[in-house]
């Protein structure tokens, strides 16, 4: 003989299963940010002018201090951030530069704000994974102006 459950019992079981599954979701209720990178954000992040200026000045200083390559032009400058494992925002400046040593070849660079700064020449995943907050021609022009000053 086959017994069937009443529809209220089935609804209660299904609801209980959904609640249990939701509680098992990674990071749910733990206060730990999900480790999956997200390129979509529901809140607008504003990069303070002090951080933007610091990143631009640091990139220019690094280009001047560590030669070759000798940067003579820049393009596609953008500022964004990555979420650290602690949930903090790590701001970075990404772009491309043209060097005196290799005319015609644009090379990627990344400048990251740390307790000081770090600059990487060549392709990195930092910029590919970053959530871009500020990207316009004014930023590129300001970087060029300071580089050529």
For residue 62, tell me if it sits in a domain: yes
Mean pLDDT of 32-43: 38
- 33 pLDDT above the threshold of 70: no
**Sign (positive or negative) of CA dihedral 96, 59, 83, 135:** negative
Q: What is the pTM of this model?
A: 0.69
User: Given this model, what pLDDT does residue 13 score?
Assistant: 43
Nearest one of 89, 100, 75 to 132, comparing CA atoms:
89
Structural domain of residue 144, as residue ranges?
Answer: 49-148
Please count the structural domains in the chain: 1
User: Given this model, what pLDDT does residue 45 score?
Assistant: 81
Nearest one of 45, 52, 38 to 93, comparing CA atoms:
52
For residue 4, tell me if it sits in a domain: no
For residue 1, tell me if it sits in a domain: no
User: Given this model, what pLDDT does residue 8 score?
Assistant: 52
Task: Write down the residue that tokens 């070759």 correspond to.
Answer: 68
For residue 92, tell me if it sits in a domain: yes
For residue 112, tell me if it sits in a domain: yes
For residue 101, tell me if it sits in a domain: yes
For residue 118, tell me if it sits in a domain: yes
For residue 14, tell me if it sits in a domain: no
Read off the tokens for 115. 């307790």
Give the pLDDT band (50/70/90) at residue 18: very low
């Amino acid at each position: 003989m086959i017994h069937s459950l009443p529809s209220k019992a089935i609804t209660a079981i299904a609801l209980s299963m959904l609640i249990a599954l939701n509680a098992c979701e990674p990071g749910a209720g733990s206060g730990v940010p999900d480790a999956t990178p997200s390129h979509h954000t529901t809140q607008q992040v504003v990069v303070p002018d002090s951080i933007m200026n610091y990143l631009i000045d640091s990139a220019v200083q690094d280009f001047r201090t560590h030669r070759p390559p000798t940067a003579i032009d820049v393009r596609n400058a953008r500022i964004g951030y990555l979420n650290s494992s602690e949930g903090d925002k790590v701001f970075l400046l990404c772009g491309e530069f043209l060097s005196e040593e290799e005319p015609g070849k644009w090379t990627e660079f990344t400048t990251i704000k740390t307790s000081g700064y770090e600059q990487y020449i060549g392709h990195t995943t930092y910029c590919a994974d970053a959530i871009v907050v500020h990207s316009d021609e004014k930023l590129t022009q300001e970087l060029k102006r300071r580089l050529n000053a």
